[in-house]
Structure formats: C-alpha cells, structure tokens
Amino acid sequence: MKRPNTLSILLWFVLIMGSAVFVFPLWWMTVVSLETPARAAAAMSGGGGIGFWPRDAQFENYAEAIRQTGSVPWMGFVDALSNSIVVTVLCVAGTVISSSLVGYAFARFRFRGNTPLFLVMLGTMMLPGQVTMIPLFLVFRSFGWIDSILPLVVPAFFGNAFFIFMYRQFIAQIPESLVEAARIDGLGHLAIWWRIVLPLCRPVTAICAVFTFIGTWNDFMAPLIYLHSPDSMTLAVALNGFKGQYPGVNKVHLLMALSVLTMIPCIILFLAAQKTFVEGLARGGVKG
C-alpha cells in the first residue's frame, strides 16, 4: 500500500478543518436545543460553556417547540410545515419544468435574435431582488394575490436565468443525431424534451432542484411580504415569530430545537441527491 506523502496529509488536514467549520453551527444548535433552559441561556450569553454532548439531553424540547409554535398548540407548526411543503414543491416543479423548456429552446431552436435574447436573460441576473421587490408587490396587489401563495409560486413557472443558462449549456452538448433520430420517429419538440432531453439532464435537474428547494424552504423575505395571516405563514416566518411570541421569557433552547427541525429536510434532500448533485457540478466544470 502506498504511504501518504506530506502533501496528501496536509490536504486531508485542510479538508477536515474546513468541514469542521461548516459542521460546527449545526452541532452547536443541536447541543443547545437539548440543554436545559438555564444552560442554554448561559451558552448564548457567554456565561458558561457547553460540552460535546449534553449530560442530560432534553429531547422533549423538540415536542415543546412544536407545541408552542403559533397561536394554536401543535396546529401552528403543522400549518407552517404544510405551507412550506406546498410552496417548495410547486416552486421546484415550476423551476425545473420552465427552466428546462427555455434552455431547450435556446439550445435547439435557431431563430433571429436568439443570442441577444439569451444575453438579455443573463443580464437579469445582475438585478438585485431589492430593485424588483416593490414593483412586483404592486403588480401582485393589483391581481389580488396578496395573502396567498400565488406570488411565491407563479414566478417559478417563468424560469430562472441561472438554471436556464445551465440547461442551455448542458443540452447543447447532447448530440444532434440523437434529436434527429427522435424526429424521424415522429416525435415533436415537447415529446423530445420530455422523453429524450430531460432524462439526460438529470445532473442539472438535481442541481436545480436542490438549490431551488433550499432557497425556497429557507426564504423569509417573500413570505413575510406576501403572507399576512397566521394560517398562511411558512416555517421561516414561524421561526422568526417564535422569538417575539414570548417576550421576556427564555426560550433559546426551544428556538434552537425549531431551527434544527427546519434544517432537517434540506439535509435529507442533499444526502439523497448527493451523488447526482456532485456529478452535475463535475460535468458543469468540465463541459461548461
């Protein structure tokens, strides 16, 4: 067996230290969420340290955090969770479908103005969200969509410039002979996109789905602007409202427990799609 050299040992050390830096916030939140109220408050204020794992883990903190979310015990968390799931699933589906369709059109259709339109689309990525926030709010208010999930979901079905760019670059690498063979078999553009192109774009789809899921699941600003009633709030808004729900009362351990629960779906999704996700990043780095 080949002995590791100094460079490989140094590389492993850097990777381990970098991983520890990223894992530390999750570990710290988990430990604080399992502490007693006094020890959690001491850890937050710097008056006392916490160990690698609580001596007497309080797993009931998670049930208590769920019970105290919202104005109605238990139902507040259930409503926020269901709202987040509905909004996230619709946004992921809409972004994947619309971005792949537009990317296919830019990659395979030859029409006048193809390149200028593509450049204009890429230019929209330079606009910060703060610039379009007020105009979009006025538009959605004129539609009567305020306090509904439509302002959060409908824009996803009009594509995302970054993901359109990724799909376009990936679809351009698909051999033209494969598309021509499908046309000879009598398939139209929609059938080619659905039965030929989209299955081949699985690595890009994994990147699009993971990024969209995490961004939508953790989005706080858009639900705060458009969703006003307590029954329509998402988990991100419920998590923020948990801090002011019990003023003057120490709820740090419950806040950390709710934060860990909010992060679990993102972790599970990334672990499930990790292989395809990394494959998409590698292909993008080689072919992009």
Instruction: Give CA angle at 76 (45, 144), nearest 5°.
Output: 115
pLDDT digits (tens, 9 = 90+) for 9-26: 898 899 999 989 988 988
Whole-prediction pTM value?
0.85
DSSP-derived 3-state class of residue 258: helix
Residue partners of 104: CB distance under 8 A and separation at least 6: 167, 168, 171, 189, 193, 197
Q: For the segment 159-216, what is each residue's pLDDT rounded down to a tens digit?
A: 999 999 999 999 998 888 888 898 888 889 999 999 999 999 988 998 899 999 999 9
Residue 22 covered by a domain: no
Residue 163 domain flag:
yes
Q: What is the pLDDT of residue 158?
A: 94
Domain assignment present for residue 16? The answer is no
For CA atoms 44, 45, 51, 56, the dihedral sign is negative
**SS3 label, residue 141:** helix
The amino acid at residue 25 is P
Q: In 3D, which of 41, 68, 46, 43 has the Cα closest to residue 239? A: 68
**Phi, psi (rounded to 5 degrees) for 106:** -65, -30
Domain assignment present for residue 42? The answer is: no
171: containing domain? 86-287
Q: Which residues contact 50 (CB under 8 A, 6 or more apart)?
A: 28, 31, 32, 35, 39, 43
Q: Tell me the C-alpha distance between 284 and 196, whole Å.
A: 19
Count the domains in the chain.
1
For residue 258, the domain's CATH number is 1.10.3720.10
**Tens digits of residue pLDDT in 45-96:** 665 667 778 888 889 999 998 988 876 777 888 999 999 999 999 999 999 9
Domain membership flag for residue 78: no
Is 11 domain-assigned? no
174 is a domain residue = yes
Residue 236 lies in a domain: yes
